[in-house]
Amino acid sequence: MRSSKREAESNRGINGHLNTLHQRFHHALSLGTRLYGENERKWQCTDIEIQRHVLRSIAAFLDAISGDILNNPFIKDSVADMVGALVWILQCENGAVVSMAAKMVVKLITIIPYTMLQTYVVVLARPLSLLLRIHNLEVSVSCATALNMILSNLNAQKEKEVIKILEETTTVSLIVCNIKDYSATTMPIEYFQEMGYLLSTVMSRWPPSRYLVWNDCILMKVLEDICTRPDLGIKIVVLKLYFGLALCGNGARKLLENGEHVLWMMVNCMDSSNLLSVRIEGFKLAQCFAADEQSCLKMISMCCEPIVKSIVHGMSGSTLQCGKIANDHLALLREACKLALITRWAGEHHIYFWKNGICRVLLNLLRKNVQDKPFECSLSLEEHMCFVKKLLDENHLLVLRPFIWDILGWLAMHGGEDFNPGLYENELHIDTLITCACLSFLESIQKRHQIYQNDILNSSRSESASRAVLMMMYSPCKYIASKVRHMLSEVLKPNGKQYVKPLLHFLEYSSSRDNFALSNMLQAVINLTAVTCYSGLPGYLMSLVENEGMKTLLSFIKWCLCNQVHIGRSSFASHIQNIFGEKGCCWVLEDWEGKDILLFYGLWALFGLVCNSYTEKNHTEIVSVETNKLESQLVGTLQEICNKVSSPGPRWYAAHILAYFGFYGFQSKFGEKIGKALKEKEFADMQFVFANGHLLNVHKVVLAVQCPSLLPPEQLPSEKKTSSYSSVGNDTKKLCGNISGKFVCLPRVDQQVLLKLLEYIYRGYVEVEEDLVMKLKSLSRHCNLHSLLQLLCHKSVKWGSPIPSSELALALSPVGRHFSDIILEANSTELMHWTCSICSLLEPHMHVHKVILWSSCDYLRAIFRSGMQESHSQILRVPISWEAMIKLVNWFYTDQLPNPPSGCLWDNMDNNRRLCEMKPYIELYWLSEFWILEDVQDACSRIIGSCLESTKELSVKVIQMAANFSLWELAKVAADYMAPLYHKLRETGDLEELDEMLVNMVRSASVRLSQDGNNYSR
């Protein structure tokens, strides 16, 4: 017990009644306190009446505690005693008192500050988790409530400990069973609510728990049935549960597979007739579905207009109150604005934003007094700009301004060439928003060199406004682009040119340093944005050229490449950070710009400079001088970006710049392989005949996939002749002239131009001399080859466009199968002693094309040349399993091996299933040695290594399989993964199934690992 002196000090400020209740509590505890050892005392009592007495005394003591004495040491000293008694009573699981004890835990957590309880949350979590299996509604509800309160306030260290307990007690499975057993007719609604709240909190904290939920078909059906009930209390729980599931990419896709009911419930909850808390949960769930383009477009395809209406109504919340907006309304505004960022994806939802008056809504978010409408009056340009400056100075809802600018920019960037938003919006609203953005742009370049770490948030608003101006200026929509160019010119008129030199100087300074801080990166982005906008304005291009803008931008781009500057926009634009934070799983999220935002903006700026230089006839001579000086460096750097950078955005801008120098498309290893077939006669099944009698050998399957317009309708599969696919072919019949068997006469087509077109079709890349560009442009337009036509016409980059692929996966569909000339048959029974032979057809098999296999594999090329050319019913037996052959064929047609399942799908497989997933790659590794497929072997090695990294226990099986195939390099890889487990495997006897040579290999790897560790320590 505490000393009397300490007790006296602790009791200061405590009234007599509370002190009496405290003494009664300790008296009750003394009835069950036991002495362990010399000094340790614990409360352990199985007497039910004493347990009741203790619980009543705890309740009375807690009820008497007021807020002004919560931090008194007197209270703190009592917490340990209360927790000790409650944990013991809960562990006894005595039905007569456990319900009372569970409720007391809830009261304890509600009253006592969490800072006092954090020491005890781990010991409380275990008995509460175990009691969820008790078939007592009051106990289950109270335990679920208490656990939810504990989980909602955990710090990082305690979270790991509590989650470990949840895993050991199979808490998720217990909650799932309870929810599946829920009956609305016999159980109170609070039971489902508390279980649902607890499960959603667990899923938000512990990613591995989500698979157990979304993979339970019965539970998903239960939730589907429950969410049809009209009770809003039920709907908000279901929304939270679906949100927890959608934090997992696989879970989100599962919900969307047959998720019409999910989406419509979500949309109904987002409606303005609901409580704000319900609407916010609906917006959060929708943000998960909008995390990537594929999921977002699937959601939009089911309920596009209702979602957009809900977003616009949610963003209209500022009209509910004048002046200061309440916190709950601000939270709704923020979530609605986050969801409005679905405008970053192209789709039909854009037109609904315009139809629902998005400009008016964005404008209302910029200004405080929503009744004030002076911008609708007839104002001079000077008065209009003066009004807008006052509007921007109001500092109204500053936290939402980055959203406003991004939404405006996305809407502009995805507008069609002839789109006129004035048909749906008040033109004065549009003009006012454009003026706001242009003035914010001016402010951002005026504040150069003034970005500091504590001003990142304010500067990110400047970045968003500048980006919006840039996107509107380069919008395909002529209406918006012309308005922005005019207004920006007016805004910059007084002294805009004086900023050009400092902007370029900062970029030149940046590219001379090894690295710089985030604030400097943000400044670089703003400067690059400004340079790009300047290059599109008449009168400013010459200033950029005279100050060696192209040389500066090229140096900056090369600096990004050399220093491998990989940073995404979300690093300095917090408003676009995804909803998952660090708790998302199984999502692969990357914007079109990717993790190369500085490179992206640098290329956009260079594109703007080059593009506008070529359209400004008066500056041709000056520009050509600078271009000639830099052309070799420029082309080499841009080709490196096209070939090595993974993000589509930077690659597209590099390709568009290269188009001004006669290089069109994207080089790839696969394109080079298929391109070899164009120069060879092997397996050509059609020939173009020109007016001079020259013949050009082509392959129908390649044309059918990459440019069906070049195939006459007679050559198309019969099921395609009436489809839109063959309508292009009907137009091309006029071009092709007479058709006779394999020969297609082209008397009016320039042979050299068609050869360039075919080179692009086969390789995905072509170099074109200037005198052929106009003819190639005409032929590309006639053949509907849009990707090449876009580059030839020097059109603006279409935002979000995927990189056109030279892969031929479509050739495996019925369209391509029509032209197949060989059958691959899987025959894994001959893995050790196989021969390549023509045989009778056995299942399973695949129809493929010799020209593609010939282009991809030197070994098969030799096989085909040795006597398999003539027959059209040949079968090639491949000594691998069906699963491995599917992957091999995928590589032949795409240059990629399909990856095994990952994330929660892989984590929840047993080791036997994982081994089955790995076996095809081991087979391919073996086959690639015989067929001399080094790229396949390298890819298999990476995939096998990745699998072993997460499941090292499989290394024993893999090393044995590798030895059986005499794959000693692969065996060494497996041995390296076994090295950390060597001593454990030896003790468990798992190494006994390996022969001595393999054991020695593992032992050697273990020794190397130990030596490397010692060297590192020294």
Instruction: Choose from 449-458, 510-519, 576-585 the range with maximum mean pLDDT.
Output: 576-585
Which amino acid does the sequence have at 27?
H
Give dist(CA 208, CA 203) in Å, integer: 8
Q: 6-20, 246-260, 583-597: which has the minimum mean pLDDT?
A: 6-20
| pLDDT(832) > 60 | no
The Cβ of residue 257 has, within 10 Å, a number of other Cβ atoms equal to: 9
3-state secondary structure of 33: strand
Highest mean pLDDT among 72-81, 651-660, 724-733, 809-818: 651-660
pLDDT band at 1013 (very low <50, low <70, confident <90, very high): low
Predicted local distance difference test score (pLDDT) of residue 318: 54
CA-derived radius of gyration, the chain: 35
Long-range CB pairs of 719-726 (<8 Å, 24+ gap) are: 719/814, 720/815, 725/815
Structure tokens belonging to residue 790? 């876009």
The tens digit of pLDDT for each residue in 702-753 reads 999 999 999 887 666 655 554 433 333 444 444 444 444 588 888 889 999 9
* pLDDT tens per residue across span 198-220: 999 999 999 999 999 999 999 99
Q: Can you give the pLDDT at residue 625?
A: 61
Average pLDDT of 878-899? 94
Confidence of residue 73 (pLDDT cuts 50, 70, 90): confident
Q: Which residue has the higher pLDDT, 972 or 828?
A: 972
Least confident of 33-47, 514-528, 811-825, 1003-1017: 33-47
Lowest mean pLDDT among 150-159, 299-308, 389-398, 900-909: 389-398
pLDDT classification of 349: cutoffs 50, 70, 90: very high
Confidence of residue 337 (pLDDT cuts 50, 70, 90): very high
Q: What is the pLDDT of residue 740?
A: 45
Q: pTM to 2 decimals?
A: 0.90
395, burial (CB in 10 Å: exposed 0-12, middle 13-18, buried 19+): exposed
- Range with lowest mean pLDDT among 476-490, 503-517, 564-578, 714-728: 714-728
Average pLDDT over residues 457-480: 88
pLDDT of residue 420: 92
CA 123 from centre of chain: 38
Average pLDDT, the chain: 86
What per-residue confidence (pLDDT) applies to 583?
Answer: 86
Looking at the predicted structure, is the pLDDT value of residue 941 above 50? yes
pLDDT of 1015 above 90: no
User: Quick one: average pLDDT of 518-536?
Assistant: 89
Question: Would you place residue 9 in the very low, low, confident or very high pLDDT band (cuts 50, 70, 90)?
Answer: very low
Over range 885-913, report the average pLDDT. 94
Instruction: Choose the weakest-confidence range: 316-330, 402-416, 616-630.
Output: 616-630
pLDDT beyond 90 at 666? yes
Alpha-carbon distance of 706 to 699, in angstroms, equals 11
Reference 463, options 395, 388, 519; nearest CA is 519
- Percent of the chain topping pLDDT 90: 56
Averaged pLDDT for residues 772-790? 94
Higher pLDDT, 983 or 66: 983
Task: Identify the pLDDT of residue 214.
Answer: 95
- Pairing between strand 822-826 and 874-878? parallel
Sign of the CA dihedral with 469 first, then 474, 479, and 482 last: positive
Would you state the pLDDT for residue 457?
A: 56
pLDDT tens per residue, range 132-184? 998 889 999 999 999 999 999 888 888 999 999 999 999 999 999 999 999 88
Mean pLDDT value of segment 919-948: 94
**What is the band of 555 on the pLDDT scale with cuts at 50, 70, 90?**
very high
Query: Smallest Cα–Cα separation from 825: which of 848, 855, 858?
Result: 848
Tell me the three state secondary structure of residue 38: coil
The separation between CA 1007 and the C-alpha centre of its own chain, rounded to angstroms, equals: 41
| Dihedral sign computed on CA atoms, order 333, 339, 343, 347 | negative
911: which residues sit within 8 A by CB, 6+ positions away? 951, 953, 954
CA angle 935, 936, 938 (to 5 degrees): 65
Alpha-carbon distance 1016 to 1010, whole Å?
A: 10
- As a whole number of Å, the end-to-end CA separation of the chain is 51
Does 38 have pLDDT greater than 80?
A: no
The yes-or-no verdict on residue 6 having pLDDT over 60 is: no
Q: Does 844 have pLDDT greater than 80?
A: no
Residue for token digits 């006897």? 989
Quick one: pLDDT band at residue 454, thresholds 50, 70, 90?
A: very low
Domains of the chain by residue range: 232-356, 361-494, 496-661, 669-809
Q: Is residue 512 very low, low, confident or very high in pLDDT (cuts 50, 70, 90)?
A: confident
Mean pLDDT of the 288-309 span:
94
**615 falls in which pLDDT band (50, 70, 90)?**
low
Provide CB contacts within 8 A for 745, sequence distance 6+. 689, 736, 737, 738, 739
Q: How confident is the model at residue 426 (pLDDT cuts 50, 70, 90)?
A: confident
Instruction: Determine the pLDDT at residue 723.
Output: 40
Counting residues of the chain whose pLDDT is more than 70, the rounded percentage is 87
Q: Which fold has domain 669-809?
A: Potassium Channel Kv1.1; Chain A (3.30.710)
Tell me the sheet residues that pair with 878.
Answer: 826
What's the pLDDT at 375? Answer: 52
For position 624, what pLDDT does the model report?
61
CB atoms within 10 A of CB 265: 20
Least confident among 218-222, 353-357, 540-544, 636-640: 540-544
Strand partners, 746: 690
* Cα 386 to Cα 121, 408, 449, distances in angstroms: 59, 22, 26
Give the type of residue at 607: F
**Reduced to 3 states, what is the DSSP secondary structure of residue 478?**
helix
Nearest C-alpha neighbor of 178 from the set 207, 212, 145, 140: 140
Span of 91-95, 481-485, 641-645 with lowest mean pLDDT: 91-95
Indicate the pLDDT class of residue 922, thresholds 50, 70 and 90: very high
